[in-house]
Structure 1
Amino acid sequence: MEMQLAELRSLTARAENRRTETGIPRVAMVQGAIPEHQLAAVYEPMINVILSGWKTMTVGEQTLRYDPATYFVMSVDLPAVGAIHPSDTGEPYLAVNLTIQPAVVATLLADMPKSAGGGLYSPAFSVAPVTPDLLDAWVRMLRLMERPGEVAALAPSYEREILFRVLQGPMGWMLRDIAMPDTALSRIGVAIQWIRENFARPIRVAALAEMAALSVSAFHRHFKAATALTPLQYQKHVRLLHARSLLMAGEGNATSVAFGVGYESPTQFSREYARQFGLPPSRDVARFRRA
């Protein structure tokens, strides 16, 4: 595996200190060290392979650490705060990720034996060690950056292979559950999508549970288990992240942005913003621009 990791590190060394597109659909890479709160975002479902350095991801009150030669799977949209760090010997953080499309997973499942889904109230994010087969698929995928004329023909098959290798691993159930319409995780995904699209509106948990075709108690337990947040906490995180992006872009002051994302009290907004990002809005914007 060391030779595969070395080649992947060489291929991703061209990445910038931010998410960098590769020219391959749904595949991106990143290197460097980024201040923690600059990585606060709603993360889309993805498979992320850590090549060097290490990363922490905090969702709700849960924090996971990802080291080299591990990958993590996030199977629903999650508001999270990430922090990345160089290795102890100074190599920069390097990682590559594939955004998951449930439709692609569904076509792959049609060609595979049926398997069990996740257990009751399972989290929708976790970490596992890479395998040589998984790394081999990633090597062939990233080599396409140097042969762009082959991307259209070969990238879809390499993407299916990466997904296949993950489906065979300990977190394969996550991919299966988001691609199958009758699982609790896919139903929670419907509610999550509604919250993301309507975050400024008041929400009723009973209405979300009905949308997910679950009882209120089952919906609440599945939602909290999958996201590490209650539905109202999830909405708050999405509101604050959206507000932060507006403030960083200079699209309004703290008061106008607070009302725009659904807060009725600018004071409450500033208090919750500072709790989430470490500084009140104006000072956080100043810190971001200095960085």
Structure 2
Amino acid sequence: MDMGNDQQAQREAQRMQANREELVWRIAQAIREDGTIQPLTGLHLSRTTVPRKRVHSVVEPSVAVIVQGSKEVLLGDNRYHYDSSRYLLTTVEMPRISQVLEASKERPYLALRLALDPTLVSAVMVDASRSLPREHTDIRAIDVSPVDGHLLDAFVRLVRLLDAPDEAQVLMPLITREIIYRLLMGEQGARLRHLVMEGGYTPHIATAVKRLRQDFDQPFRIETLAHELGMSVSSLQHHFKAVTAMSPLQFQKRLRLQEARRLMLSEDLDAASAAYRVGYQDASHFNREYKSLFGVPPIRDVQRLREATRESIG
């Protein structure tokens, strides 16, 4: 019996290794220069040949798999490190900080990320309700878990569709449903279910996140938001931080500062104009908070980013 189990485990390990190697080859063929592309709706492929400094971004609900290299994601005081053996699940749209740790020209960092539509997650939950495990979990909106053979196999079949665009229209929705099912049945299934089920506070927090994303440049009163959600201020504060690792005010501030950075880079706005566009009335206050998040004042930060862009192009 033990010998049979060992042989089965060995075959499974060989199959997973073959799947990883195929993913490396296919993603490397699909994206030949550093950057990120979206060859199919909701499927993002990334490549980089050098370890990167920390990147501030807003990420949608999604599952991310690295096929070569490694990465670290920071959310509040928590760090999440993952590589080709683990996937990252994000269940609420929110700002985060990430950093590619391992990458080289010989072995570039290669990864894929698949967006997860909460409506589709709910539909799969209904179809699979009888077989879903019932364990409880914390409600953090992000975590990492080991990639199993079934999940990896589904991602291989998804990436193969890059070579068959006509088939992708039919098969991608089916494979995406399978991936969601595998996630629901896996280690983080309870977290994913908790964030789309009716009842409890998490759907309210998802609504609060959506409101803050839409109105990040408007004055924020937590009392108003709590009243609209039917929650007390203390309850909203507690549950919002449990999910996002930030207070609502910290969440809004990070969104504002990231948008101001984008405006200065892409629309060539000066710091005062960008600050006003994202809701700051006091330029000196904006400068202090910008430096606290990004490490340097706005002008120096933008200059540094532009120089790094020119160097990468050159």
Q: TM-score, normalising length from structure 2? A: 0.87
In the alignment, is residue 97 of structure 1 matched against residue 113 of structure 2? Answer: yes
- Bigger radius of gyration, 1 or 2? 2
The answer to which structure, 1 or 2, has the higher relative contact order (CA under 8 A, 6+ apart) is 1
Give matches, 1:87-236, under 5 Å: 91-113=107-129, 115-116=133-134, 118-119=136-137, 122-236=139-253
Paired with 1:34 and 1:200, the residues of 2 have a C-alpha distance of 33
CA RMSD of aligned residues (A): 1.8
Residue type at the aligned position of 2:216: F
Deviation at 1:237, TM superposition (A): 0.2
Counterpart for residue 277 of structure 1? 294
Q: Which amino acid aligns with 1:144?
A: L
Equivalent AA in structure 1 for residue 206 of structure 2: G
| TM-score when normalising by structure 1 | 0.93
1:56 and 2:72 are equivalent in the alignment: yes
Equivalenced residue count is 288
Return 110-119 or 269-278, whichever deviates more.
110-119
Q: Deviations for 1:28-49, whole angstroms, at most 9, x for unmatched residues?
A: 1101146324x21111111001
Contact conserved, 1:188 with 1:223, CA < 8 A, in 2? Answer: yes
Choose from 6, 12, 18 the match for 2:35.
Answer: 18
5+ residue gaps in structure 2?
A: 1-15, 309-314
Unaligned 5+ segments in structure 1 are none
How much has 1:215 moved relative to structure 2? Answer: 2.6
Q: How much has 1:17 moved relative to structure 2?
A: 2.0
Amino-acid identity (%): 34
For each residue in 1:140-176, what CA deviation from the matched residue of structure 2 results, as whole angstroms up to 9, or x when unmatched?
Answer: 0000000111011100000001111111111112321
- Write the distance in 2 (CA, Å) between the matches of 1:283 and 1:117: 49
Q: For the Cα contact (< 8 Å) 2:69–2:108, is it kept in 1?
A: yes
Q: Distance in 2 between matches of 1:184 and 1:8?
A: 38
Provide the rounded CA distance (Å) in 1 between the counterparts of 2:177 and 2:57.
27
Equivalent residue, structure 2, for 1:290: 307
| Closer, same or farther: CA 77–96 of 1 in aligned 2, 3 Å | same
User: SS state of the match for residue 187, structure 2?
Assistant: coil
Contact kept in structure 2, 1:117 and 1:174, CA below 8 Å: no
1:211 and 1:9 map into 2 onto residues whose CA distance is 47
User: What residue is the counterpart of 2:88 in the other structure?
Assistant: 72
